[in-house]
Amino acid sequence: MAPNDELASRTDPSSSTDRNVKHVVLGDLLFPTWYQSIYPEDLVTKDTDRLYVCRWCFRYSCDVHAYAKHTRLCHHRTTPPGTKVYDHGGYSVWELDGECHKLYAQNLSLFAKLFLDHKSVFFDVVSFLYYLLVFTDPNDPENYYVLGFFSKEKLSWDANNLACILVFPPYQRKQLGKLLMGVSYKISSWERDSGLIGGPERPLSEMGRRSYTRFWEERIARYLLLQGWDDAEDAGEGEAEGEEEERSGKHPHELMTVQDIGLATGMLTEDVVTALKGLGVVESATPAKKRKAKDLVSGEAGLGEGEAVIIRRATVLEWAKAHHMAVRDPVRDDGFLGKWAPRDSDDESIADSADGDVEDEDEEEEEEEEG
Ligand SMILES: [Zn+2]
């Protein structure tokens, strides 16, 4: 059984008193654990204050000397296991099969459980793929850091594109969860012929729900801002729909359904609705507008059955600005490698043209929903 999603930060780490391991040393980082893990009791006794964990392969030891010896000899010192599927801006994602890298996947799972609050045992590693988020400093290319990961069932009857996600505590609040979520949608291959639209495994934890809601809102906001709007000058002017359309002649308004948006973004209908509500950009269409304005989203469950609504681009832009959202997706299509590599670069050119609309690249730390 796969675990629920959990992204992260706990507000009160001290409340979990039954933790068998109190702190971990990962590479040269020491930090407290949040939850109990299922380390074998003959190797990791209860009330272990410090567990030393290899930052490359997640092997563990209570003995600092054994740990030091291992880190000198670790087989994964210079490169992560598996295949690199994404690489952009120093961040890469590596796919590994739990069946081929069983020990690695088990050790990673044991470590992750220290920060995940669910009871499910998730050591059925052979039925899962693991995607490691890796950072490599360009000035020090031999040295890499695993910052987090997500897992995914190889065969998911519910088309889940993600089973479990964790950004390790020292690396949280850097928007890395969104990077992993974005990658998980891309490699769910909904865009390809045989791909299915899906989402994270349910039920979501409270933390997972908040993180995903924000991610979905940004995904939909980007879609609404970028699709078909290749005239960046129109950004945020809030003109009447008819005038704008006549002037640009580029069909800036479309009639679309929630399902259409879902198909375009690879998102389940219910998740699209969640995002649209969260964005707060949906206005009821008056009968007069209904006939005239064309950027309508027809009703869906929760938005009013059969009801047509208007989404104004200016309102989406306001939301994006207020939430410091970079219009450009942090997950770059051209960062995907191998079978995930883009087949053409159309999306990129649209993204480029609209890049200046909203504050560029969220350098500043955003109000993090994960916390
Ligand atoms: Zn190691």
Q: Do 248 and 338 belong to one domain?
A: yes
Q: Which residues have a beta carbon within 5 Å of ligand 1, which is an ion?
A: 54, 56-57, 59, 74
Residue 100, token pair as written in the block: 């081929």
pLDDT tens sequence across 185-231: 999 887 776 778 999 999 898 889 999 999 999 999 999 998 755 44
Q: How far is the CA of 56 from the centre of ligand 1 (A)?
A: 5
Residue 252 pLDDT level (bands cut at 50, 70, 90) = low
Domain with 305 in it:
206-357
Q: Please report, as a single letter, which amino acid is at residue 369.
A: E
- Provide the mean pLDDT of the chain: 80
Residue 277 CA to ligand 1 centre (angstroms): 45
158 and 257 assigned to the same domain: no
Q: Between 269-279 and 258-265, two packed helices, what is the crossing angle to 10 degrees?
A: 100
Please state, in angstroms and rounded to a whole number, the distance separating the CA atoms of residues 114 and 58: 12
CATH code for the domain of 35: 3.40.630.30
Strands lying side by side in the sheet with 164-167: 83-88, 91-97, 128-136, 144-153, 164-167
Residue 244 falls inside a structural domain: yes
Ligand 1 center from residue 54 Cα (angstroms): 5
Distance from Cα 68 to the centre of ligand 1, integer Å: 10
Please report, for residues 72, 197, 299, 309, the alpha-carbon distance to residue 218 in angstroms, rounded to integers and kept in the order given: 43, 18, 21, 20
User: Is residue 203 reached through a cis peptide bond, with omega within 30 degrees of 0 on the bond before it?
Assistant: yes
Instruction: Please tell me the distance from the alpha carbon of residue 362 to that of residue 327, in angstroms, as a whole number.
Output: 9
| Average pLDDT estimate for 240-268 | 67
Does the pLDDT of residue 130 top 80, yes or no? yes
Does 63 share its domain with 212?
no
Query: Contact at 8 Å (CB) between 234 and 192?
Result: no
Average pLDDT (112-120) is: 83
**Residue labelled with tokens 């079978």:** 339
On whether both 40 and 89 belong to a single domain, the answer is: yes
Task: State yes or no: pLDDT of 261 exceeds 70.
Answer: yes
Instruction: Count the neighbouring beta carbons within 10 Å of the beta carbon of residue 194.
Output: 6
- Number of other residues whose CB lies within 10 A of the CB of residue 175: 16
Same domain, 150 and 229: no
Give domain status of residue 8, yes or no: no
Q: Is position 189 within any domain? A: no
- Percent above pLDDT 90 for the chain: 56
Same domain, 157 and 237: no
Q: Is 179 helix (H, G, I), strand (E, B) or coil?
A: helix
Residue 329 in this model has a pLDDT that exceeds 60: yes
Q: Same domain for 31 and 167? A: yes
Please report whether residue 181 resides in a domain.
Answer: no
Of 174, 191, 217, at which residue does a domain stop?
Answer: 174
What is the whole-number distance in angstroms between the Cα of residue 33 and the centre of ligand 1? 20
Find out whether 165 and 200 touch, Cβ atoms under 8 Å: yes
* 201 counts as catalytic: yes
Distance 153 CA to ligand 1 centre (A): 25
- Residue in 6, 95, 201, 370 annotated catalytic: 201
Count of structural domains within the chain: 2
Same domain, yes or no, for 160 and 215? no
The CA 141 to ligand 1 mean position distance, Å, reads 18
